[in-house]
A and B are shown apart, each in its own frame.
Chain A
Amino acid sequence: MALFPSEDWLKLYVEKINSSKEYEEAASTWEGDLAYVFEAEPDKGVPEDVWSWADLWHGKCRDSKWGISPEEGEKSKFIIRAPYSRWKEVIKKELDPVKGMMQGKLKLKGDLPTIVRYVKASNELVNLAAQVPTEFVDEQ
């Protein structure tokens, strides 16, 4: 069980990604790093924005970093950001990420044509996040 958001959670998430045949297949030609921004919600135990980073390459996660600076994160090919409680909804599969983007609840920065070509891989990343045994910081 890992606390979300935390570095331990990210490590378990990366393990899930690297052991998933479904993701490996859906993202077999994907090349690009991705920054996740968990936006601050002080009343829910997230006092400031947290940036994490994953280097996704041909269906695997080659590297990841927790707590990078916004300057470093902004260099990522893709950035997806939302307040902590929206991420919690995504991880609990209460919010579909595509629907969330259309509602403006999740903000994406990066080449959109590339993202839409890899919707299946994106959905698989969400499925894997939901498989991480998670304790949420506002439920401690």
Chain B
Amino acid sequence: MEYVTSDPDLGGLGEMLADLVRANIAAHPARARLLENVTGTINVKAVDAQVEVGLEFAANRLNVFAKPFRRAGLEIVTDSETLMDLTTVPLWMGRPDIRTRQGRTLVGKMLRRDLRVKGMAAHPKLLSRLQRLLSAV
């Protein structure tokens, strides 16, 4: 079963996200269940690198596209360093664990709008699933 599909011309950010999810599922096969019973689209943008990709949860797969969606359910907009931080922050209930220094740092960035997650209130499940799939912790 192929859990992650990707455009052939993804580029750096898309390849990193796709490879990270593939590697995490290979190392922790139970994480494949995070792709089940969830649909939706997410745009991820690294502002400083000027790159943006589209992710789609559909049919028990994650599809990674080189181009963002015109209207995605979720949009994550931040700098490249913070995107990396999102993959290494300890999680609690699928969210950054504010009991840790890294978790508090990310929440601080959200409050300062250095990390913007649009659609978080409407799509909490989608965000939680993505965070767990990307987590390298």
Contact = CB atoms under 8 A, between A and B. Distances in A.
Contacts of B136: 112-114, 116-117
Given A119-B84, A119-B88, A99 B49 contact: yes
A98 B80 contact: yes
A104 B50 CA distance: 11
A99 B23 contact: no
Interface residues of B, number: 23
A103 B49 CA distance: 6
B27 A113 contact: yes
Contact of B88 (A103, A111, A116): A116
Interface residues of A, number: 17
Contacts of A96: 48, 80-81
B51 A102 contact: yes
B131 to A, nearest CB: 14
Contact of B46 (A99, A106, A117): A99
A121 to B, nearest CB: 12
